[in-house]
Amino acid sequence: MTKLTPEDKQRIYKILAEAYIDLVGQRVIGKVERKVLSRKILDHIEPAKTFEDVVSFIKDLGKTYPYFTNAATRINGELNIFHEKKVIQNLEQYINTINSVSN
Amino acid sequence: MATNVPAVETGRTLEGVTAAVVGQERNSAQADVRRLQLLAKEKGEQEMFKAEMAEKLDDKQPNFPEIYSVLSNIPDATRRTELQNKAKLLQEIVEKKAAGTILAGATPDAHVQFLGKVAAGMPGMVAAIAKETGQTITSTKTLLENGNFNRASAVGKIIDAHLHNESFLTKLRSDIGGIEQTENQIGFSAEIATLDADIKARETNLKTEREVFTNSNGTGIVDIVQNLMTTNPSKFNQVKTYASSFKDYQNRLKSDILAGFGLDRPSGLKQGDIVQYQTDALAAIRSIAT
């Protein structure tokens, strides 16, 4: 379980917003759906505590809004890269801590 | 006298109008994209979503994916399918899709019959149709409610005309928007159904537990003891003595044997000791009982 920091959430909002704006540009979502989707995104990302919470929400979103599946795949991919970077960053930090202790 | 417009001219005009509408929509979407990008850049993505959520809509439009999502939570499978099929028919009607495009097997008759059922709840419509067809209001209402007519019938033709009436469809669309408000009610029903299932499970558990003590076969502990008390009091007293002996034995085990070896504190007991004490206790009980 990877805990989300406020900066992580900001990055996740950015990824979601890019996919969302794409859908608006392609005119695949109407005004009501935009309102509902935005509410859903805020309702789920705001209380999300871990990276897994976000991934599970994105997966569910694709079930209700089939046209969101492509966007969800893209978001998942980007989130995974982001997650991997974060894990590597944490690992590096940990190794550095060990090095500084052993030195 | 009206002048007939040549078909080619009409075609050209329509093409022009269509292109203009499509162009307008495209421009509007692009303007929205620019507005959202600017908002995200200046105030952040979270604020952008908040602004989108707070957007005031003049006309409540149906949101079918959301409606299907809400309907999928209805616990009763029959009711769920019934409402899902109704929603699919409605979607075909308001989005002017051919019958059967969304609800497999739906016919054009199903569309007029569905709208007929809606019309049955509108007294003005019922009166107008009754006047037009020369039938009584009561029989017209029953006919509409039962959907007992087809597109080719007199009633069917009147209803069919409404399928192509934009202002009627606009009204219908805004009414469908209200369906989303049932989300909370359906949520509550689902919650109640879960609680019901929980109560039933608890009842079953209690019944099973109760049967250990008493049951209709007379094999529960209380049944056996009661039976013994009435049919064989001496045996019952013997059992009581055995139980008392067993209790004494346990006390002796604790105070004499365990204390004797300095093992009467739980912290001093080992797993092997307990197994050994159990074996010894069982042997002792068997010797008393035989």
Per-residue pLDDT of B39-96, as tens digits, reads 999 999 999 999 988 877 655 566 777 678 777 777 778 878 888 888 888 888 887 8
CA distance B69 to B180: 10
Phi, psi of A50 (to 5 degrees): -125, 165
List, as ranges, residues 24-53 from A with C-beta within 8 Å of B.
24-27, 30-39, 41-42, 45
Nearest partner of A32 among B45, B73, B181, judged by Cα: B181
Give the model's pLDDT for residue A1. Answer: 59
- Nearest by CB to B25, which of A20, A27, A39? A27
Nearest partner of B45 among A70, A77, A96, A11, judged by Cα: A11
Q: SS3 for A3?
A: strand
Cβ atoms of residues B68 and A38 within 8 Å: no
> Could you tell me how many CB contacts below 8 A there are between chain A and chain B?
76
DSSP codes of every residue in A19-54:
HHHHHHHTT-S-HHHHHHHHHHHHHHHTT--BHHHH
Instruction: Flag if B55 and A31 touch (Cβ within 8 Å).
Output: yes
Residues of A in contact with B46 (CB under 8 A): 9-10, 13, 42, 45
Nearest partner of A13 among A37, A62, A46, A50, judged by Cα: A46
Give the model's pLDDT for residue B2. Answer: 41
Give the model's pLDDT for residue B49. Answer: 92
Q: How deeply is B88 buried, as exposed, middle or buried, from its count of CB atoms within 10 A (0-12, 13-18, 19+)?
A: buried
Q: SS3 for B30?
A: helix
Dihedral angle over CA of B275, B279, B285, B289, nearest 10: 140
Q: What is the CA radius of gyration of chain B?
A: 39
CA distance A48 to A52: 9
Residue B185 has which token pair? 């009610």
| Alpha carbon separation from A2 to A52, A87, B153, B208 (Å, rounded) | 7, 8, 65, 44
Give residue B45's Cα distance to chain centre. Answer: 33
Instruction: Flag if A31 and B40 touch (Cβ within 8 Å).
Output: no
Give the model's pLDDT for residue B75. Answer: 76
Instruction: Flag if A33 and B66 touch (Cβ within 8 Å).
Output: yes
Phi, psi of B198 (to 5 degrees): -65, -45
Instruction: Flag if B57 and A25 touch (Cβ within 8 Å).
Output: no
Cβ atoms of residues B150 and B157 within 8 Å: no
Closest-CA residue of A relative to B70 is A64
Choice between A84 and B24, residue whose per-residue pLDDT is larger? A84
Q: Is B32 on the interface with A (CB under 8 A)?
A: yes
Residues of A in contact with B176 (CB under 8 A): none
Residues of B in contact with A7 (CB under 8 A): none
Give the model's pLDDT for residue B11. Answer: 39
Give the model's pLDDT for residue B28. Answer: 66
- Nearest by CB to A39, which of B53, B57, B62? B53
Give the model's pLDDT for residue B69. Answer: 74
Q: What is the pTM of this model?
A: 0.39
Q: SS3 for B234?
A: helix
Instruction: Flag if B52 and A27 touch (Cβ within 8 Å).
Output: no
Cβ atoms of residues A34 and B48 within 8 Å: no
Give the model's pLDDT for residue B14. Answer: 38
Closest-CA residue of A relative to B48 is A17
Give the model's pLDDT for residue B261. Answer: 65
Interface test with A, best of B46, B73, B94, B102 (most A CBs within 10 A): B46
pLDDT tens-digit readout, B223-245:
777 787 788 888 778 777 877 77
In which residue ranges of chain B is pLDDT below 70? 1-28, 57-62, 66, 171, 174-196, 258-279, 281-290
Q: What is the DSSP letter of B267?
A: G
